[in-house]
Structure 1
Amino acid sequence: MQSSLVLKSKLKSGISIFSTVGQLAAEYNAINLWQGAPGFVPDQVLVESAFQAIRDGLNQYAPMPGLLSLRQALAAKTAKLYGAQYDPNTEITITAGGLEAVYAAITALVHPGDEVIYFDPGFECYQPTIQLQGATAIPIKIPLDTMRIDWNLVRAAITARTRMIIINTPHNPSGAVFDRHDIENLISVTRGTDIVVLSDEVYEHMVYDGKVHQSMARYPELAERSVIVFSLGKTFHVTGWRVGYCVAPAEITKEIRMIHQYLVYSAPAPFQVALAAALADETNYLNLTDFYQKKRDLLIDSLSESALKVQPCASGFFLLADFRAVSDRSDRDFVLDLLRRKRVGTIPLSHFYSDGADTGMIRLSFCQPDEVLREGGRLLSQRDL
């Protein structure tokens, strides 16, 4: 059916490369090194807990801010890990995944004419969400040779209209993490301003090689101006359950909840029950560092004979690999060619840049079963890459 309506698109992004790669990956039965969703079965006690909640009749709307039992469990977790006291009644909100929390925070706090600083490469939702508010997105590129933010560039970018700075640590897609130098600079550039920090920390439990996750919740001067976003879906290998949360001071949380109630109203009730119970055993999330570090190391080892140059990775689900030694094609063309010839799905790094900048690099996911990582590494190590 064709429509005669004249439509004006609010966004110009078109079909995401994730959709393109997903369709081709299914067509070629490709090895999944592209998707940031755990490729293994979640804990069966957690799954049975969700089924039991359904059988017990918890099939209607949860309270708008989320089940109190889950918010209380998260308040206790945050206090123990980061020393921050958040009131479960007024300062913690359960959302339909971390993405909804990011969208609700930006929508609630950013207004037409505002400016929002964020960093490239970065998660794809930041720029379009900023633009939908009638605000100006100000991307600052992170040098890929150092993976470090140039804070002098941040200082130069701040104006009287700067309303928000979005940070992502641990970082997708680079795997970089904030250190005390970054924290000190963030405190310095926001001190005495009305700038809100939106801190995307969904990979908080995947930090490797003895490094420590520098959550904004650890630092009172940042916590008082920060919305911190987390993902229970990623933490418990159930991204399809769409349960995340954000913590923020009460006056900020009030604004976010006003948007949240009109987006989804509440996250799925039976899954909240199951996750609240699972949080009682802290090994469910504290063991993730060792679990994923072994997978990272397995994929790196599987690529040891490859012509791809793997970049260091301190956190998260992903490795970056430079392919310029074997091809001068664009990263998008290289990714599509890998799918067709090698049956391996990856993501071009250019997708994570606001300007689509071609870097000659691809992103590989290691949140997959060991056999998938070995086979992906084998195929990417063949001489005719």
Structure 2
Amino acid sequence: MNDIQSKLPKVGTTIFTVMSKMASDFDAINLSQGFPDFPVSEKLIDLVYQNMQIGHNQYAPMPGLPKLREAIAKKVSNTGGVDLNIETEITVTAGATEAIFSSVLATVHSGDEVIVLEPAYDCYIPAIELAGGKPIPVSLNPENFTPDWEKVKNSITDKTRMLIINFPHNPSGAILRDDDIATLKEILEGNPKLIVLSDEVYEHIIFDKETHLSVLKDEFLASRSIAVSSFGKTFHATGWKIGYMVAPEAIMKEIRKVHQYNCFSVHTPSQYAMAEYLQDEKNYLGVSGMYEKKRNFFQQAIKDSKFKVIPSYGTYFQLLDFSEVTDMPDLEFAQYLIKEKGLASIPVSAFYSENQDHHLLRFCFAKGEETLQKAADILCKI
């Protein structure tokens, strides 16, 4: 049929899929798509298997297993967050993307405006558009990828319904500071209709003794925010597609109306496994140290290259400025690296709605040291 009118006419295949396919086609080292190349904890895998064997293979409750929601509430409390009602404020989701889609579809109405801080992960704007909303891109400061709060304030109108934030930030690794939290609270206090959707999937990957400042650590922010988390990111099991979201009861009630038809429930044995695995807080509090070593290894390995390292305070991504290497557009240079040098990355222009090009590439360092060293050797020879 040729008469189907696209609801997302500007959307094609994501840059992550495109660059990973190119990496496969040209047998390149893949530091593009954000997935680890090392194994998931054997204990966690055994827990999933054991629960399959026990017979936990049918539908879980729509909001998630009570014992997993209890474990999530305990984790939030352990990391300095607010006390949560497991019946009304936590929902287990099919990964963070489902949580984001369900949240936006439930709360954004036709004509509503949603401020998106760019560069931004590419699922935000399609979700807004599918909800009938209007995305309002606001660029982060290009020097350090911190929020330009004056720009945010100036972008708020009487139609603004939501502000989407993502820290630790993909692709830059930037984090929020205390003054950012104070300004965010000030903005919400002055705009009672505004809610925050906080994508916190890298909450347990933060470096240099910094602290992740979740919206759930402040009672007022928590009362006006939806926080999205990912077990896939925390436990390097991205293919399991399991995460959760936290929101005030009134907002969560609406989100669950969408979630129950968008997904209904999440893989049951994995929920049982996660509930038990979360009991040992070392399983999530120890993740940052492991990734910090990988970040340091990669940065040290490329220190003699012509690429400029942009500080990464969290996530498992490293931005490199290649302006001293070539004046090629970032997409063209990324394709050149794959085809001619055997190394895949992501051009950062893909994270902007207008494809702003600051001569930056994103590299994923969630890899073994041998892989990172091979990638660094390539970069140092360019």
Which interval holds the TM-score relative to the shorter structure?
A: over 0.9
Give, in angstroms, the shift of residue 146 of structure 1.
Answer: 2.8
CA distance in 1, matches of 2:354, 2:312: 24
CA distance in 2, matches of 1:83, 1:113: 33
Per-residue CA deviations over 1:116-174 (Å, capped at 9, x if unaligned) read: 01101011111111111111101100122132211111111111111001111111111
* Residue number in structure 2 paired with 1:57: 55
* Residue number in structure 1 paired with 2:67: 69
Give, in angstroms, the shift of residue 5 of structure 1.
Answer: 3.4
Three-state SS of the structure 1 residue aligned to 2:370 is helix
* Residue number in structure 1 paired with 2:38: 40
Per-residue CA deviations over 1:265-291 (Å, capped at 9, x if unaligned) read: 011111111111110111111111110
Please list, as runs of the form range in 1=range in 2, the aligned pairs for 1:94-105 lying within 5 A after superposition: 94-105=92-103
Moved over 4 A (4+): none
CA distance in 1, matches of 2:206, 2:232: 17
CA contact (8 A) 2:108 2:131 kept: yes
CA contact (8 A) 2:116 2:137 kept: yes
CA distance in 1, matches of 2:48, 2:265: 16
* Residue number in structure 2 paired with 1:79: 77
Per-residue CA deviations over 1:279-319 (Å, capped at 9, x if unaligned) read: 01111111111101000001101111211111111111101
* Residue number in structure 1 paired with 2:365: 366
CA distance in 2, matches of 1:198, 1:138: 14
* Residue number in structure 2 paired with 1:6: 3
- Does residue 341 of structure 2 align to residue 342 of structure 1? yes
CA distance in 2, matches of 1:330, 1:265: 43
* Residue number in structure 2 paired with 1:185: 183
CA contact (8 A) 2:120 2:351 kept: yes
> Which AA in structure 2 matches 1:345?
A
CA contact (8 A) 1:38 1:234 kept: no
RMSD value, Cα: 1.0
| Equivalent in 143, 150, 153 of residue 151 of structure 2 | 153
CA distance in 2, matches of 1:85, 1:118: 28
- Does residue 273 of structure 2 align to residue 274 of structure 1? yes
Please list, as runs of the form range in 1=range in 2, the aligned pairs for 1:9-24 lying within 5 A after superposition: 9-11=6-8, 12-24=10-22
> Which AA in structure 2 matches 1:50?
V
CA contact (8 A) 2:115 2:162 kept: yes
* Residue number in structure 2 paired with 1:107: 105
CA distance in 1, matches of 2:12, 2:207: 35
Three-state SS of the structure 2 residue aligned to 1:319 is strand
CA distance in 2, matches of 1:38, 1:269: 24
Please list, as runs of the form range in 1=range in 2, the aligned pairs for 1:163-174 lying within 5 A after superposition: 163-174=161-172
CA distance in 2, matches of 1:356, 1:55: 49
Identity of aligned residues (%): 43
* Residue number in structure 1 paired with 2:122: 124
* Residue number in structure 1 paired with 2:135: 137
CA distance in 2, matches of 1:61, 1:344: 42
CA distance in 1, matches of 2:73, 2:108: 26
> Which AA in structure 2 matches 1:223?
A
CA distance in 2, matches of 1:322, 1:146: 12
CA distance in 2, matches of 1:233, 1:289: 15
CA distance in 2, matches of 1:217, 1:103: 20
Query: Which one is further off, 80-89 or 257-266?
Result: 80-89
Give, in angstroms, the shift of residue 322 of structure 1.
Answer: 0.9
> Which AA in structure 2 matches 1:47?
I
> Which AA in structure 2 matches 1:298?
F
Per-residue CA deviations over 1:14-41 (Å, capped at 9, x if unaligned) read: 1222122111111222112112112110
CA contact (8 A) 1:117 1:164 kept: yes
Structure 2 runs not aligned, ≥5 long: none
Per-residue CA deviations over 1:24-81 (Å, capped at 9, x if unaligned) read: 1112221121121121101101101101111122222111001111000001111121
Give, in angstroms, the shift of residue 83 of structure 1.
Answer: 3.5
CA distance in 2, matches of 1:233, 1:17: 20
> Which AA in structure 1 matches 2:331?
R
